[in-house]
Amino acid sequence: MFNIVLFGPPGAGKGTQALKLVEMYNLIHLSTGDILRAEMKRNSPLGQKVKSLIEKGELVPDEIVIELIRENLSNNKDAAGFIFDGFPRTIEQAKSLDEMLSRESLDIALMLTLEVEEEELISRILLRGQNSGRADDSNPDIIKNRIKVYNEQTAPVAEYYKKQGKHASIDNMGTIENTFDQLKAHVDNWQ
């Protein structure tokens, strides 16, 4: 299995690039944000539990997202690999992911971070909010809080993978195609 963590702040383009990588490399896209939003949509007990946190731009507790990942990994044992998008968001989550994978003699091959300037992030998220129906994409204060939470709690996760020699940064101020070409180069180089 070939497993990638696609990393970067909210609005950096992870979802867009993940879909393109899935197509090219036949991987399974695991976006904890998408899974949690689906739970909110069908108003499940889990959806109800996380709704207020997500609408404020705060993190859902580690145990909840780790359990979601555990279920998805065990339901996809034949996968060629996974793209983790929006997870791990804390060092604790990164350690749990390593433990879960190593129990199956698997690991993360690469963490690829999409870099976008903060002003550009905010305008891309507000643009997405016009159509996404996401409350957390429409309010500048909530968007700023999401970026703050990212800088404080999530950005340190890159160090965790840097220490393992698995990290690379990709500039995503340019076009979708150019960024995808850079991501592809990293993946192809690795294999």
Which residues contact ligand UDP by CB under 6 A? 10-11, 14-15, 32-33, 36, 53-54, 57-60, 65, 86-87, 89, 136, 146
> Of 110 and 121, which has the nearer Cβ to ligand UDP?
121
**Omega before 140 cis (within 30°)?**
no
Closest CA to 35 of 20, 22, 54: 54
Q: Shortest distance, CB of residue 143 to ligand UDP, whole angstroms?
A: 9
Tell me the β-bridge partners of 5.
84, 111
Closest CA to 163 of 104, 91, 89, 106: 91
Determine the residue type at 67. Answer: E
The 22-41 contact track toward Mg ion, x by CB under 5 A, reads -----------x--------
Only one residue has tokens 């731009």, namely 57
> Of 9 and 33, which has the nearer Cβ to Mg ion?
33
Q: Shortest distance, CB of residue 8 to ligand UDP, whole angstroms?
A: 8
**What is the number of the residue whose Cβ is closest to ligand UDP?**
33
Closest CA to 152 of 58, 80, 75, 67: 58
Give the H/E segment covering residue 168: strand 167-171
| 36 interface partner picked from Mg ion, ligand UDP, none, CB below 5 to 8 A per type | ligand UDP
How many residues bind Mg ion, per CB under 5 A?
2
* Binding status of residue 15 toward Mg ion by CB under 5 A: yes
> Of 33 and 78, which has the nearer Cβ to ligand UDP?
33
